[in-house]
Structure 1
Amino acid sequence: MSTDKTIVVITGGNTGIGYETVKALMDSPAPYTVLMGSRKLENASDAIAKLSSEISNSSSEVVPIQIDITDDDSISNAYKEIESKFGKVDALINNAGASFDAIMKEKPGPTGIREAWETSYSVNVSSTQVMTTTFIPLLLKSSSPRLLFITSGLSSLTTMSGGFNSKLGAGAPQAGWPKPPEASVIAYRSSKTALNMMMLDWARVLKQDGVKVFAISPGFLATGLGGVGAATLRKFGAGEPSEGGDLIRKVVQGERDADAGKVVNKDGVQPW
């Protein structure tokens, strides 16, 4: 299955910001072949059916593909399938990720801490690195390759150094021990800070190959991240996931190329 369309691979494309990114690309006049990665193929197929009901006329196509970034065999099989059918990737969007800080509340003590932190880094950092490393050969076959990592506004060291105070409420607690449970999502934030460093290193490694590398900070949006629920997040002022999808579309389409190698948000560039 060859195509003249721009080929985009997005992990975790069947829900949340991933889904809205696919939708934004489908709604664009530019033609794309979007390979919607999902841990379960049926979930991608269901999401594509929903997209078809929301966008009736599109110059693009969406193809479901099974990708579980925590499974090396799944990544390898996806690579082989995409290589045989398309031969290249023009944009790789590392969108799949999750927050596991709730584990520390469910399992107080060392066991919960270790599980939350190790799972956060396994999914958001290690698995993303494996996914990227595997797909670089296909990306280098593109005439205009772009590599995107979806990060978070909570990853900024500059913001944290000024005193972290999220919209969910995580100011400095009272003196003494033990400290009360808080909404600082420290394991998630730390893993996304590590992801930013990963992006910087890929920008270095791929500089001579002409790959434009970005980290995208979509903003505080009403997604299912962390299991809090979109409705609850809206009460705290969260925007719609479509805002994130539109930002990612702009990066894919080259509107933010001047900011390559940086953390891009809707207002400009996010401080480190």
Structure 2
Amino acid sequence: MPYTVLITGANKGIGYEAVKLLAQKKPDAIILLGSRSTKNGEDAIAKMKSSAPSHDFSNVKVLPIDITSSSSLFSAAEHVKSTYTTLDALIHNSGISELDGDGKHPAIFDVNVRGAKDCVATFAPILTPKTGIITVVSSEVGAWYTATVDPSTKAKLEDIEGVSWEKVEGWMKDWEAMADGKEAKEKWVPLDKGMIGSKYCASKGILNPWLRKYAATHLEVRFAVVCPGYCATELNHFQGPRPASAGGESIIWPVLNEFESGKFYQDGKEMAFAQELPDWAK
């Protein structure tokens, strides 16, 4: 069977660029373009063919998948298993910063945190034994959030041994209580602190501890957390200084290179899970 890679959230932005790049770098592999809409996925492939006519992209296949739907995840995994037997690499890229202009929408945690957990849990059982790779796209903003939050809360986010999914759920609910002006147990970054106080940044700060715990307790999986960098995409209203293609290159790096499992990478370089907020973001 051919080497098979699934990239979720791949009909546009960084995911699209990742599929486009990987399809050309691994022409003998099957690259599954995850998209909630089959039409959007097919349109994305047509766009690739038009922009890079030297490659026919026949090795790219659309896989309908909605990571917030358990039935959709199940159907997608069953299709991969029946068609390709195993999955060699999962690149979980799906993520949102708002929905319908609402930066506090419940879907942000549903997609960025719960969706990541459910996607990993669904596809991990069909990974190719010993060599299977899981790559989850997080963000440096999660590392900034961890470094910025109150020290007492930071200590809990960094206590990887003590992390559980129940705690992650509790953190999400506690953050939402704070955002609604209710009493919260933890001292989260206030909403009035600009970008770093956003639910998007909080989602990445809350997701990273679970990713680290998963990697530490599933040593049978080669697991990488990656940051695409601040790229100009629809997610940030095309404000990022990096092109989406650079982000695509960054997130496919673990599929093409050796890496240390459980680490955080950007452009192939290891990053810390807690980083001081840069001056431009303060």
> What is the TM-score when the length of structure 2 is the normalising length?
0.75
Name the amino acid aligned to 2:108.
S
Name the amino acid aligned to 1:39.
R
Aligned to 1:79: 77
Aligned to 1:144: 131
3-state DSSP of counterpart to 2:74: helix
What is the CA–CA distance in structure 2 between the aligned matches of 1:198 and 1:6, rounded to whole Å? 28
Q: Are positions 1:124 and 2:112 aligned together?
A: yes
What is the CA–CA distance in structure 1 between the aligned matches of 2:76 and 2:50, rounded to whole Å? 27
User: 1:58-77: CA deviations, max 9, x gaps?
Assistant: 68700001001111111111
Q: 1:205 and 1:240, CA in 2 relative to 1: closer, same or farther beyond 3 A?
A: same
Tell me which moved more, 86-95 or 192-201.
192-201
The aligned length equals 231
Q: 1:127 and 1:249, CA in 2 relative to 1: closer, same or farther beyond 3 A?
A: closer
Aligned to 2:183: none
Q: 1:218 and 1:42, CA in 2 relative to 1: closer, same or farther beyond 3 A?
A: same
CA RMSD of aligned residues (A): 2.4
Q: 2:11 aligns with which of 7, 11, 14?
A: 14
3-state DSSP of counterpart to 1:243: helix
Aligned to 1:175: none
Q: Are positions 1:202 and 2:190 aligned together?
A: no
What is the CA–CA distance in structure 1 between the aligned matches of 2:205 and 2:195, rounded to whole Å? 17
TM-fit CA distance, 1:27:
2.1
Name the amino acid aligned to 1:204.
A
What is the CA–CA distance in structure 1 between the aligned matches of 2:17 and 2:129, rounded to whole Å? 24
Within 5 Å, give how 1:195-234 maps onto structure 2: 195-207=207-219, 209=220, 211-226=221-236, 229-230=237-238, 233-234=239-240
Aligned to 2:60: 62
What is the CA–CA distance in structure 1 between the aligned matches of 2:113 and 2:250, rounded to whole Å? 22
What is the CA–CA distance in structure 2 between the aligned matches of 1:29 and 1:40, rounded to whole Å? 25
TM-fit CA distance, 1:198:
2.1
3-state DSSP of counterpart to 1:27: helix
Aligned to 1:94: 92
User: 1:29-87: CA deviations, max 9, x gaps?
Assistant: 55220111101011001101111223333687000010011111111111111111011
Aligned to 2:250: 247
What is the CA–CA distance in structure 1 between the aligned matches of 2:107 and 2:57, rounded to whole Å? 39
Q: 1:194 and 1:31, CA in 2 relative to 1: closer, same or farther beyond 3 A?
A: farther
TM-fit CA distance, 1:251:
1.2
Q: 1:158 and 1:183, CA in 2 relative to 1: closer, same or farther beyond 3 A?
A: closer
Name the amino acid aligned to 2:66.
D
Q: 1:180 and 1:154, CA in 2 relative to 1: closer, same or farther beyond 3 A?
A: closer
Q: 1:249 and 1:30, CA in 2 relative to 1: closer, same or farther beyond 3 A?
A: farther
Identity of aligned residues (%): 30
Name the amino acid aligned to 1:40.
S
Q: Are positions 1:268 and 2:269 aligned together?
A: yes
Q: 1:198 and 1:39, CA in 2 relative to 1: closer, same or farther beyond 3 A?
A: same
> What is the TM-score when the length of structure 1 is the normalising length?
0.77
3-state DSSP of counterpart to 2:131: coil
What is the CA–CA distance in structure 2 between the aligned matches of 1:195 and 1:60, rounded to whole Å? 35
What is the CA–CA distance in structure 2 between the aligned matches of 1:267 and 1:26, rounded to whole Å? 19
What is the CA–CA distance in structure 1 between the aligned matches of 2:124 and 2:254, rounded to whole Å? 18
